[in-house]
Structure 1
Amino acid sequence: MLCIETICVENRELKNLAYHEARLNRTRQELWGYQDQWDLAEMIEVPDSVANTIHKCRVVYDRKIDNIKWEPYLQRPIKKLKRVYHNSVDYSYKYDQRDELNTLFAQREEADDILIIKNGWVTDSFYCNVAFSDETGWYTPNTYLLPGTQRAFLIDQGIIQERQISETDIFTYDSVKLFNAMVSWEKAPVIDVRMID
């Protein structure tokens, strides 16, 4: 089973690299028992073909790097979410294969993305971690599926806080924001919770 890191490249610079490196090295240790620490800055060279616009660097690896792909990134508009349910879905590591998640995403009907509910708790969307706002601040579920690098950065910066958020809590909030390594907090779509089916 291969794993991936998806790294944002802006102005030919790899963003949040320390967070990607920490997750990658933790994954390598927990899944395969490797104790060595990879230094991604030394291992990844941005090719000349990558312009100053935002690009996605996709590193596929197990015991070694399998391949690295580069592609321009265009953010998808997200205006509506569909709640989907799966009580045993597991995506604690960023696996290359996402069959379970793909099956859930196929249930989105007219919505742009999904909001995955596991055992009554809010987790993530298909592509993103999420955070909900009320008059006191922004809160991200502590029942997430994937420990996102942008999520870790935002918690460390004090921009969001972890909280248990049940499905029944959703409509006590005003809005939800969807973010990931490619979608910064500033550019993340904000959706009124009334647009969650």
Structure 2
Amino acid sequence: MSQFFESIKIEDQKIFLLDLHQKRVNETFANFGKEGSIDLGKIFKSLNHDEDGLFKLRISYDLDKSFRTQMIPYAISEINDFQLVENNLYDYSFKFEDRKEFERMKIKAKADEIIIVKNNHITDTSFSNLLFKKGKEWFTPNTFLLNGVQRQHLLKNKKIKEVEITPQNLKQFSHFQIINSMNDFDDMFIYPISKITNLPESGEYLEI
């Protein structure tokens, strides 16, 4: 049974952010005391993918280096609303295949998507990192569940900055957006902060 996965952007037969995806896979093997890794670039080439358009390459793998692949046509979806959900115990330091805790939080929420609050700090949605806009600049929380490859890429290229973001200071920002390997911050939907239905003054955030 697979324990981890990577979702990689493939557009017009080109693979994106491969070095960061490979780094994360290598670190996963090393953290759990395993030598070697799987070669994501080699796996992609072996698929002989020859279709243009936007696809998500999902590679599920285990620490014995067994893996399976799916090449899935991808379209960006708009989200109607978001809800802050408090969960101080959840650890998602690695890209685990088991996402039951995310699913449990989403079922209890009364919105399309959740924004997870951990130790009174904004972290991630159930499937992405976050960016928040103040003036003309974009910021990402310095707290996160998973340090995503797009987040790392944008920080490295100085397109965004890290800052402390809590439920109490969310109103300092005018807009936000979600980023992950499939969604960079040039072509994402941008949401007004009011899309978060339970900002502190309009109601307590949901404890899970």
Question: Scaled by the length of structure 2, what TM-score is found?
Answer: 0.88
The answer to whether structure 1 residue 188 and structure 2 residue 188 are counterparts is yes
The answer to whether structure 1 residue 135 and structure 2 residue 129 are counterparts is no
Partners of 2:8 and 2:57 within 8 A in 1 = yes
Aligned to 1:44: 44
Aligned to 2:91: 90
> 1:34 Cα deviation (Å)?
2.3
> 1:134 Cα deviation (Å)?
0.4
Give SS of 2:53's match: coil
> CA 1:46–1:163 in 2, change beyond 3 Å: closer, same or farther?
farther
> 1:46 Cα deviation (Å)?
5.9
Partners of 2:113 and 2:126 within 8 A in 1 = yes
User: What is the letter of the counterpart of residue 88 of structure 1?
Assistant: L
> 1:12 Cα deviation (Å)?
1.0
The answer to whether structure 1 residue 54 and structure 2 residue 54 are counterparts is yes
Could you list the per-position Cα deviations for residues 65-120 of structure 1 after superposition, in whole angstroms to 9, with x for gaps in the alignment?
321111111212123211111110111110011111111111332x2211111111
Could you list the per-position Cα deviations for residues 31-66 of structure 1 after superposition, in whole angstroms to 9, with x for gaps in the alignment?
2x1242543212322635652111111111122032
Unaligned runs of 5+ in 1: none
Partners of 2:13 and 2:49 within 8 A in 1 = no
Partners of 2:88 and 2:119 within 8 A in 1 = yes
The answer to whether structure 1 residue 24 and structure 2 residue 25 are counterparts is yes
> CA 1:40–1:48 in 2, change beyond 3 Å: closer, same or farther?
closer
Partners of 1:79 and 1:191 within 8 A in 2 = no
User: What is the letter of the counterpart of residue 12 of structure 1?
Assistant: Q
Give SS of 2:108's match: coil
Could you list the per-position Cα deviations for residues 118-174 of structure 1 after superposition, in whole angstroms to 9, with x for gaps in the alignment?
111100011110011101511111110011011100100101111111111111111
Partners of 1:83 and 1:196 within 8 A in 2 = yes
Aligned to 1:99: 100
User: What is the letter of the counterpart of residue 55 of structure 1?
Assistant: F
Q: Report the Cα distance in structure 2 between the residues aligned to 1:186 and 1:107, rounded to whole angstroms.
A: 32
> CA 1:49–1:15 in 2, change beyond 3 Å: closer, same or farther?
closer
User: What is the letter of the counterpart of residue 66 of structure 1?
Assistant: F
> CA 1:70–1:120 in 2, change beyond 3 Å: closer, same or farther?
same
Q: CA RMSD in A?
A: 1.6
Partners of 1:3 and 1:96 within 8 A in 2 = yes
Q: Report the Cα distance in structure 2 between the residues aligned to 1:130 and 1:101, rounded to whole angstroms.
A: 16
Report sequence identity in percent.
Answer: 28
Partners of 1:56 and 1:70 within 8 A in 2 = yes
Question: Scaled by the length of structure 1, what TM-score is found?
Answer: 0.92
Q: Report the Cα distance in structure 1 between the residues aligned to 2:151 and 2:145, rounded to whole angstroms.
A: 12
Q: Which runs of 4+ in 1 moved over 6 A?
A: none
Aligned to 2:68: 67
User: What number of residue pairs does the alignment pair up?
Assistant: 195
Give SS of 1:187's match: coil
Give SS of 2:140's match: strand
Give SS of 2:57's match: strand
